[in-house]
A and B are shown apart, each in its own frame.
Chain A
Amino acid sequence: MNFVMTPEQESIRKMVREFAEKSLAPTAAERDEKELFSREIMDQIGELGIFGLPYPEEYGGAGSDFVSYAIAVEEISRVCASTGIGLSVHVSLCAWPIFKYGTEEQKQKYLRPLAEGTQLGAFGLTEPNAGTDAAAGSTIAVKDGDSYVINGSKVFNTNGGEAEIEVIFAATDKAAGLKGLSAFIVEKGTPGFTYGKKEIKMGIRASVQRELIFENCRVPAANLLGKEGEGFKIAMTTLDGGRIGVAAQAVGIAQAALDAAVKYSKERVQFGKPIAANQAISFMLADMATKLDAARLLTYRAAYNKSNHLSYSKEAAMAKMFASDAAMSITTDAVQIFGGYGYSREYPVERLMRDAKITQIYEGTNQAMRMVVSGSILR
């Protein structure tokens, strides 16, 4: 058993941290306040090769692994969780299903620009009436000659409106239920594919979530990902990996909260001593640090399993639910330690608390995670 990062993982952490602190930190609060999605930042991340971290060099990737990728999401999210989820969705939810299920032609056409960072990716599964019950969606795709005609809509689409490449799901055989769902690669600008409203949110306000609308949108049959009817399997295995990204995002947010709380409790003097000298505070910090460590280890273990072709569905679900719950609790405690200043928007911890909440909800609610974990152990 080895709990030490490889020199490669260590140097990627250093590299991403330097980028995040110099390029993202100065504008993170402002982008949150003004709800500004920055395409420039995503392009920079692409240029640095971060989008290609876990993918082979033959598809424009760096040939590293999913632990390095999790570290990158963590370090970006430590500074800006909004950017963290944009990165995670691009790599885990858009590039990965193409890498795993795509034809060689699809990989060259779509995975390569995603890994090289010249195009941005997104993933559309959720619909207004189909959240955890993903098969209840009403988007349909009808085969017509050499193409599919898609009708329907998707909501909460991260990177939506910005992404050049969308992996979306539609029923090719509504009567078949789960087995009638299929996955498609849809390019931005395809006639009949437009965007609806942008979500106005509590947290991750500098990331964009938008409605996708398909009205007689004709997609080449060559853009069917996998086979007809494989959509549900593709969606679920993709989300297994996405959860590693969300867990890493939660770890990054929690690390930022702990760092801020430690610093503040050493500096803030009340009754003639720093508040960290009170056990009420120092024990809170101890609990925060312990939860964070456990969350990080679960996250890296899931990423390690994925890199080494071991099963990771249960592990990723555990990591996602534990890390997101830990992030919620750690950020809430950080706000408490900051007291009135913690509630103020002048200090960073309230943003962390708002950002943490979504990690308990998206890419499978933590209740759904418990369904995955219990389903796995009761099998």
Chain B
Amino acid sequence: MEIVVCVKQVPDTTEVKIDPATNTLIRQGVPSIVNPFDKNALEAALQLKEAYGGKVTVLSMGPPQAKDALKECLAMGADAAILISDRAFGGSDTLATSYTLASAIRKLGNCDIILFGKQAIDGDTAQVGPETAEHLGVAQVTYASRIEVSGDVARIERESEEGYEIIEVKLPAVVTVIKTLNYEPRYPSVKGTMKANRAEIPVWTAADLTVEEGRLGLKGSPTQVRNIFTPPRRVQGVIIARDTAREAVAELLQKLTEAKIV
């Protein structure tokens, strides 16, 4: 079974600073990590390999230093890693990113299952996985907490607020994985760490992929980011409990009047 995991290197914090001029993340001085949900996806991939055999290849699109993230994945047990990196990819939104990733996955060929973390903790869009499925024209299942495979069918538990759905999907398919105890990321081993250290990670540039130039990077990115901010916390409401509804409504009206809302 050929398993691909797409990972993103992200800053190690959930509330990074935003450059007000460019509306992009200030990455300087913030340590980089593998996006935590992607580690759940990698764990799922490693468990699938252990159960059904095969090979786990990790892909990441990013700057040269994203090799560190890929090495961490190799240390955890991935068999191969490829960095997709080119100045031409700079400024990609989710559409251009998923387009580029899909091209790389096509170049790899013969993938049975393509895993993503449910979202990246920096952009938080949860779009790249599903968009990649669309580019590839394969089925997608999001928010998976368990994946089983028999033949060319995957049986997936998909978490939702009410519980979970069980979805069967024909492979190849894209699956995005949530943080779950089933896929608690394993620690890298000594041997994995040493192997990762010695590994030469191939870099694929735009020239290595069959892509239309206009769909890459900033040019291929219709999304314009106006502003990124943390929404203000909702303050706790006030409960007006009185003996009668009449009294309560009177008090409510008074408060609303004082606050100049009515």
In this complex, the interface size class of chain A, counting residues with CB under 8 Å from chain B, is: 10 to 19
Contact A48 B189 (CB under 8 A): yes
For B188, list chain A residues within 8 Å (CB).
15, 18, 48
Rounded to whole angstroms, the CA-CA distance of A219 and B36 in the bound complex is 52
For residue A304, CB closer than 8 A to chain B, the reply is no
Contact A52 B190 (CB under 8 A): yes
For B187, list chain A residues within 8 Å (CB).
15, 18-19, 22-23, 48
Rounded to whole angstroms, the CA-CA distance of A269 and B197 in the bound complex is 44
- The 3 lowest CB-CB distance pairs between A and B, nearest first, are A49-B190, A62-B190, A49-B189
| B-contact bits for A145-158, CB 8 A (1 contact / 0 none) | 00000000000000
In this complex, the interface size class of chain B, counting residues with CB under 8 Å from chain A, is: 10 to 19
Q: Supply 6 further A-B pairs (C-beta < 8 A) apart from A18-B187, A49-B189.
A: A8-B193, A12-B194, A23-B187, A49-B190, A52-B190, A64-B194
Closest to A8 in B: B197
Contact B197 A15 (CB under 8 A): no
For residue B27, CB closer than 8 A to chain A, the reply is no
For residue B36, give the distance in angstroms from its CB to the closest CB of chain A. 13
Rounded to whole angstroms, the CA-CA distance of A53 and B75 in the bound complex is 15
Contact A11 B193 (CB under 8 A): yes
For residue A375, CB closer than 8 A to chain B, the reply is no
**Contacts between the two chains (Cβ within 8 Å), count:** 41
| B-contact bits for A220-263, CB 8 A (1 contact / 0 none) | 00000000000000000000000000000000000000000000
Most B CB contacts (10 A, CB to CB) among A18, A22, A23, A48 go to A48
For A340, list chain B residues within 8 Å (CB).
none
For A50, list chain B residues within 8 Å (CB).
190
For residue A128, CB closer than 8 A to chain B, the reply is no
B71, B75, B190, B196: the one within 8 Å of A64 (CB): B190
| A-contact bits for B39-81, CB 8 A (1 contact / 0 none) | 0000000000000000000000000000000010001000000
Residues 12-60 of A at the B interface (beta carbon under 8 Å): 12, 15, 18-19, 22-23, 47-50, 52-53
For residue B191, CB closer than 8 A to chain A, the reply is yes
Task: From known contacts A11-B75, A15-B75, infer whether A53 and B190 are also in contact, taking CB-CB under 8 Å.
Answer: yes
Most A CB contacts (10 A, CB to CB) among B75, B190, B196 go to B190
For residue A191, CB closer than 8 A to chain B, the reply is no
For residue A62, give the distance in angstroms from its CB to the closest CB of chain B. 5
Residues 202-216 of B at the A interface (beta carbon under 8 Å): none
Rounded to whole angstroms, the CA-CA distance of A265 and B237 in the bound complex is 40
For B197, list chain A residues within 8 Å (CB).
7-8, 11
